[in-house]
């Protein structure tokens, strides 16, 4: 073997692994040990949890598509003056109703929104966490924060599995997610904003926060109390940002909560 071939072999052997499926189950059963291994990586290892969550998000959309299609068909009403419309207008109306219950609106757009919301939420979580830890005096890198955010989000995979099973069993979409049920659906003003925020909070979200608390103390080098306060501030900022689309949508006539689906949590 020539010297050039040996050098190429060394490069291949030293190439860091970015995919770690062997860490998936230990994240749930041995979180501290797993997050310690994640924190020791100087390169990006967040791709594994993001891939798993993306696949599960698409599966959840596929499972809910028949229910969403049926809801779109039942929700379509013929306008009272429909008989006076021109044939062209009637044809356009019927085509629009057919499209609203078609695969583009029941599968493609919801799947794109779910995956996009997942990746945007992960990026915001990791970036805000890195900024907060830096302001608190930590010297951890942005890669470390993004890695932690990705692996800490794994409990949300269990949420998607449970919700997918529930939708398939009950043949209806889940309404009033999280703790939003404690506030009336017809709330307005600040209560509407709070309802949108609480819709993201459930046992799986709290599990994610617990993993963030554990991992932040590891990657930051800060005292545990200071690291925990930083994580809690990060989570509150993220929830405040996530609640905005739902609040704005709820303020618009007939679009209550329409914007909340952009974010994944």
How does pLDDT run across 103-161, given as a tens digit for each residue? 777 788 889 999 999 999 999 999 999 999 999 999 999 999 999 999 999 999 999 99
Q: Is residue 243 a part of any domain in this protein?
A: yes
Residue 55 — very low, low, confident or very high, per pLDDT cuts 50/70/90?
very high
Average pLDDT of 58-87?
68
Distance CA 244, CA 233 (A): 17
- Domains contained in the chain, number: 1
Q: Is residue 31 a part of any domain in this protein?
A: no
Q: Is residue 76 a part of any domain in this protein?
A: yes
How does pLDDT run across 182-205, given as a tens digit for each residue? 787 777 778 888 888 888 899 999
Q: Is residue 5 a part of any domain in this protein?
A: no
Q: Is residue 178 a part of any domain in this protein?
A: yes
Distance CA 218, CA 124 (A): 20
Q: Is residue 19 a part of any domain in this protein?
A: no
Under a CB-based contact definition with an 8 Å cutoff, are residues 93 and 82 in contact? yes
Which residue range forms the structural domain that includes residue 163?
38-262
Q: Is residue 149 a part of any domain in this protein?
A: yes
Residue 27 — very low, low, confident or very high, per pLDDT cuts 50/70/90?
very high
Residue 94 — very low, low, confident or very high, per pLDDT cuts 50/70/90?
low
Q: Is residue 63 a part of any domain in this protein?
A: yes
Whether 259 shows a pLDDT value over 90: the answer reads no
């Amino acid at each position: 073997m020539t010297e050039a071939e040996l050098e190429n072999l060394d490069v291949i052997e030293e190439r860091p692994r970015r995919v770690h499926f062997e860490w998936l189950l230990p994240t749930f059963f041995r979180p501290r040990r797993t997050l310690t291994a994640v924190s020791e990586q100087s390169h990006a290892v967040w791709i594994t949890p993001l891939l798993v969550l993306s696949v599960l998000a698409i599966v959840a959309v596929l499972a809910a598509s028949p229910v969403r299609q049926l809801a779109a068909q039942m929700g379509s009403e013929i306008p009272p003056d429909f008989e006076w419309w021109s044939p062209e207008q009637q044809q356009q109306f019927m085509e629009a109703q057919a499209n609203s219950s078609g695969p583009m609106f029941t599968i493609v757009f919801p799947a794109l929104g779910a995956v996009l919301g997942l990746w945007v939420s992960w990026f915001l979580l990791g970036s805000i966490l890195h900024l907060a830890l830096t302001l608190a005096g930590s010297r951890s890198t942005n890669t470390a924060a993004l890695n932690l955010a990705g692996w800490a989000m794994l409990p949300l995979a269990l949420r998607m599995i449970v919700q997918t099973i529930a939708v398939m069993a009950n043949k209806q979409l889940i309404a009033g997610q999280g703790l939003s049920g404690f506030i009336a659906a017809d709330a307005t003003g600040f209560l509407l904003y709070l309802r949108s925020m609480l819709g993201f909070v459930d046992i799986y979200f709290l599990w994610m926060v617990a993993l963030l608390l554990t991992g932040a103390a590891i990657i930051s080098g800060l005292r545990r109390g200071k690291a925990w306060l930083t994580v809690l501030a990060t989570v509150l900022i993220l929830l405040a940002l996530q609640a905005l689309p739902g609040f704005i949508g709820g303020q618009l006539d007939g679009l209550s909560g329409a914007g909340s689906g952009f974010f994944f949590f």
